[in-house]
Amino acid sequence: MIINGKNHGVQPFMLQMRDTVTYEPLPGIECGDIGPKFGYGSKDNGFLILKNVRIPRSNLLQRYVNVDKEGTFTVKGDLRSLYSVMMFIRVSIALGAGKTLAAGLTIGTRYAVVRRQFSTVDGTKLERKLMDY
């Protein structure tokens, strides 16, 4: 959000993006899909570019911030609560990545144990021994 030339960061707001008849993006709005995310397939992310789009002050979701009629930007509440939500999600992703890596290593290790790499005279006996493990 930019007010009077000052950048106040990313803020949530409601905005009509498409024409109600043609469903095409409104002037100054560009949107699209960024495709699947590796390892996080349940999330469908896209992009939104706003070029010289003015959004009414009443469309701002003002739970943690406020913009008065004069354009004064103020923060309501504690910024640590916003930061904690972001950190929770990032920690969850890191834990999930660790579990996925452990599963992949288990599969790879099990395959490496039973995989026949060299042809030997006694290869069938060795293979049977490894399969017993």
Measured CA to CA, the distance from residue 45 to residue 69 in angstroms comes to 33
Where are the chain's structural domains? 1-77, 78-133
- Helix intervals (H) in the chain: 79-114, 123-132
pLDDT of residue 91: 92
**Which residues of the chain fall below pLDDT 70?**
117-133
pLDDT of residue 132: 56
With beta carbons less than 8 A apart as the criterion, state whether 53 and 66 touch. no
pLDDT of residue 44: 80
CA dihedral 52, 67, 12, 97 (to 10 degrees): 120
pLDDT of residue 65: 85
pLDDT of residue 128: 57
For 22, phi then psi, to 5°, come to: -95, -15
Measured CA to CA, the distance from residue 85 to residue 82 in angstroms comes to 5
pLDDT of residue 35: 82
With beta carbons less than 8 A apart as the criterion, state whether 126 and 113 touch. no
**pLDDT for 53-65, tens place per residue?**
888 888 988 888 8
CATH classification code of 1-77 = 2.40.110.10
With beta carbons less than 8 A apart as the criterion, state whether 80 and 38 touch. no
